[in-house]
Amino acid sequence: MFTGIVHSEGEVEAIEPRGGDVRLRIRCPGLSLASSSLGDSIAVNGVCLTAVDLDGESFAADVSRESLGLTTLGELRPGHRVNLEQALTLATPLGGHLVTGHVDGVGEVIERREEARSVRFRVRAPAALGRYIARKGSICIDGVSLTVNDVDGAIFGVNIVPHTIEITNVSAWKPGLRVNLEVDIVARYLERLLGHDAAAGISMETLRENGFAKSH
């Protein structure tokens, strides 16, 4: 598990093809690996990967064919900047929101607009994910926990403050860029637990049947 609070930027150092999938080596001088061990999870642009080699200021992780197809990791090239976050521990402040590192889909940045010292972005999500995105809810974009400002179907807006721009690769985001999206896990589980078609809406009767409202 992660929080979507990026610890450091890294840089893709090498990409090694391995029988249909790849091994990424990420240089990360700003990320302390002193307490990391082989097998630990590290999120790379929001994708949970397993460290298979640790070498001072870098680590390597294997990326499966499925992850390459479902995320933007297959588009990375040496020199690309990536957002990094080490796994959540019981002593980690939950400054963002609960993030699994399992990407739900790839979105596209469609607008970037400077607003005072912040930057506003509009992002188009895959149509199937639109129902999980709510105004003032949480979403993870390339590993960054963000608050949704507005929603119009599968298009949503976020506002990013200077600190986040400074410590992540957000400064390089521009229209046309494809980004990894993970919707709020609470929305996913709520739909599953209710056993309900979210597209049809939730009625008071549905809430009563599932213990979320009192019966008359």
Query: What is the tens place of the pLDDT at every residue in 123-152?
Result: 999 999 999 999 999 999 999 999 999 999
Please state, for a pLDDT cut of 90, what percent of the chain lies above it: 76
Average pLDDT, integer, range 70-77? 97
pLDDT digits (tens, 9 = 90+) for 6-61: 999 999 999 999 988 999 999 999 999 988 899 999 999 999 999 999 998 999 99
Pull the structure tokens for residue 74.
């297959």
d(CA 6, CA 11): 14
Helix (H, G, I), strand (E, B) or coil at 190: helix
pLDDT for 61 equals: 98
Based on the fold, state whether residues 132 and 55 are members of the same structural domain: no
Q: How far is CA 151 from CA 25, 164, 169, in A?
A: 36, 22, 23
Question: Looking at the domain assignment, is residue 91 inside a domain?
Answer: no
Based on the fold, state whether residues 120 and 70 are members of the same structural domain: no
Residue 158: strand pairing partners:
121, 148
Q: What is the DSSP string of 24-50?
A: EEEE-TTS--TT--TT-EEEETTEEEE
Q: Is the pLDDT of residue 122 over 90?
A: yes
Based on the fold, state whether residues 160 and 114 are members of the same structural domain: yes
Pull the structure tokens for residue 118.
């912040």
Q: Are 58 and 28 in contact (CB under 8 A)?
A: yes
The CATH number of the domain holding residue 52 is 2.40.30.20
pLDDT for 100 equals: 94
Residue 26: strand pairing partners:
12, 59
Q: What is the domain count for the chain? A: 2
Which among 59, 69, 10 is positioned nearest to 34, based on CA atoms? 59
Q: Is the pLDDT of residue 198 over 70?
A: no
Based on the fold, state whether residues 76 and 42 are members of the same structural domain: yes
- Domain containing 78 equals 8-86
Confidence of residue 173 (pLDDT cuts 50, 70, 90): very high
Helix (H) or strand (E) segment spanning residue 204:
helix 204-209
Which among 135, 140, 136, 130 is positioned nearest to 164, based on CA atoms? 140
Average pLDDT, integer, range 61-86? 96
d(CA 11, CA 158): 25
